[in-house]
Amino acid sequence: MRGIVDRKQEIEELRALAQRAPSLGLLYGRRRVGKTFLLDHAWADMRHFYFLAADTTSEMNRAELIRELSEWSGNDYVEADFPSWRNVFRLLAQLAESGPLVVVLDEFQYLMGQTDDIVSQLVAIWDRELRGRPLTLVLCGSEVATMAGLEAGDSPLYGRPNWSARLRPFDYLDTRAMVPNRSPREAAYIYGVFGGTPRFLVTITEEDELAERVTETVLSPRGEVHLQLERLIEQEKGIREPREYRAVLSAVADGNTETDRIAAAAGLSDRTHVVIRALGVLESLELIWRERNFDAAERTPWKNRIADHAVRFWYRFVHKNRSLLETGEARRVWRQRVEPYLDDYMGKVFERMCREAFLRHHDRWGLGGALEWARWEGQDRSRRPIEIDLISRLDDGRLLTGEIKWSSRPIDYDVHLALQRDLEDLARSGQGWAQGALDPERSAGHLYFSAAGFSDHFHQRAAEAGNILLRDLNDLYVA
């Protein structure tokens, strides 16, 4: 059994919450990000009762809760004595009379039935009958929109939670802590394929070859991660037309970034409003994120991208090959249709990793925090296509620029020369920020990321220049 990775801050805050009882907490986040695991670790040494609601009626859940509460407390509670949730909350308040008590109601959205309004009943008891008893109640749930709605201005619970948090998947470094014996490069591939979702990462065993693991758990239709990703969209209760959402995700994963192109690729050209709505919902689920060129004008359209690496891998490599995969050809799919394209796929993954690494390490690298972090894609005035991977406005206002290369061999100094030329071209083409990036007063220098490192010549030049930082995979993975 592995220990708990990260979540230190959440555990601290949850423990503090219990010290301030009576208190109410809200925890939400996508399925399998580790909510239950976290709650299970937070109060190990305190008196606590945990209930996992099932996807059934509110009444059946209440009956089950009463049964489990009887067992937990050693008292004989009879279901008939608890005809409504109000009675259940009253009982919990009473149980806290004899000493501090933490109660977790997990998958709380299943308790929010139509017929009896559990939230209003909770509020009634909370406001009038708790009388300072040391009860800590945590409502936890996977339906992000529903749970977040509990905090909204129109919810009866509004203003009452003393603590609330959205739990997110791990970043690249915490992901590595889940697979500690892998090399940095392997850890990066793992992050690229499985993302940072803990439940997906625990399927990776120590000994296995990565190719073998991905084939068995992600590609194979019986694989655990495969099955979970397949149902990802269906599991969101708020989504009524899963097929449309899948088509949108698939279109974005193919590299269509703007609404019209996504609509066309998804076969929804005549229903752009559906695409716009789907993009909004997927963004709130953090399955999609949006970016724009650095310094883009206010009305520039956003570019949509898949936010979760596992989801992107799924649509790029699994979904597309499902016929072959269904007929038991997972190994062949890996060899012929995944492995040869994996390094190309990793380019975008690595860009995200570098951004996450900057958040963690910028102090150590002698740089301020980033107010903005973006790319730039387009053409100069003679229509030469230009892409710059990294333009960041640091908190002192200076501009940091650089490139991010998922390389297999050390990269050379010409990358720096190419960036200089691009910046000069763009400055001449009227991009004001590019002028700033070239101005010694306004530039914070250059930061280059290369997975496989840099040539000696580049290292030498960087040392002479004094304003060029070079970072490879090992630098990213220092703890």
Ligand X SMILES: Nc1ncnc2c1ncn2[C@@H]1O[C@H](COP(=O)(O)OP(=O)(O)O)[C@@H](O)[C@H]1O
Would you tell me which residues interact with ligand X (CB under 6 A)?
2, 4-7, 29, 31-37, 142, 198-199, 202
User: Smallest distance from the beta carbon of 341 to ligand X, in angstroms?
Assistant: 29
How far apart, in Å, do the first and last CA atoms of the chain sit? 22
Q: Alpha-carbon distance 201 to 194, whole Å?
A: 7
Q: Alpha-carbon distance 438 to 176, whole Å?
A: 36
Place of tokens 């840099």: 454
For Mg ion, which stretch binds (CB under 5 A), given 29-37, 177-185, 304-312, 471-479?
A: 29-37
How many positions of this chain bind Mg ion (CB under 5 A)? 1
Q: Please report whether residue 36 would count as binding Mg ion according to CB under 5 A.
A: yes
Q: Residue 362 touches which of ligand X, Mg ion, none (CB < 5 to 8 A by kind)?
A: none
Place of tokens 């752009």: 272
Burial of 425 (0-12, 13-18, 19+ CB in 10 A): middle
Report the 10 Å Cβ neighbour count for 186.
15
Strands 23-28 and 163-166: parallel
Helix axis angle, 456-465 to 414-428, nearest 10°: 50
- Report the residue number, 36 or 109, with the smaller CB distance to Mg ion: 36
Q: Please report whether residue 58 would count as binding Mg ion according to CB under 5 A.
A: no
Q: Residue 2 touches which of ligand X, Mg ion, none (CB < 5 to 8 A by kind)?
A: ligand X
The CB-nearest residue to Mg ion is 36
Q: Residue 6 touches which of Mg ion, ligand X, none (CB < 5 to 8 A by kind)?
A: ligand X
User: Smallest distance from the beta carbon of 204 to ligand X, in angstroms?
Assistant: 12
- Report the residue number, 14 or 444, with the smaller CB distance to ligand X: 14
User: Smallest distance from the beta carbon of 201 to ligand X, in angstroms?
Assistant: 7
98: left (phi over 0), alpha (psi -120 to 50) or beta: alpha
- Report the residue number, 117 or 286, with the smaller CB distance to ligand X: 286
CB contact at 8 A, 238 and 70: no
For Mg ion, which stretch binds (CB under 5 A), given 30-38, 58-66, 120-128, 209-217?
A: 30-38
Q: Please report whether residue 450 would count as binding Mg ion according to CB under 5 A.
A: no
Give 337's DSSP letter.
Answer: I
Q: Alpha-carbon distance 214 to 144, whole Å?
A: 28
The phi and psi torsions of 23 (rounded to 5 degrees) equal -150, 155
Q: Residue 33 touches which of Mg ion, ligand X, none (CB < 5 to 8 A by kind)?
A: ligand X
User: Smallest distance from the beta carbon of 426 to Mg ion, in angstroms?
Assistant: 48
User: Smallest distance from the beta carbon of 36 to Mg ion, in angstroms?
Assistant: 3
- Report the residue number, 203 or 435, with the smaller CB distance to ligand X: 203
User: Smallest distance from the beta carbon of 99 to ligand X, in angstroms?
Assistant: 27
CB contact at 8 A, 278 and 185: no
| Interface positions with Mg ion (CB under 5 A) | 36
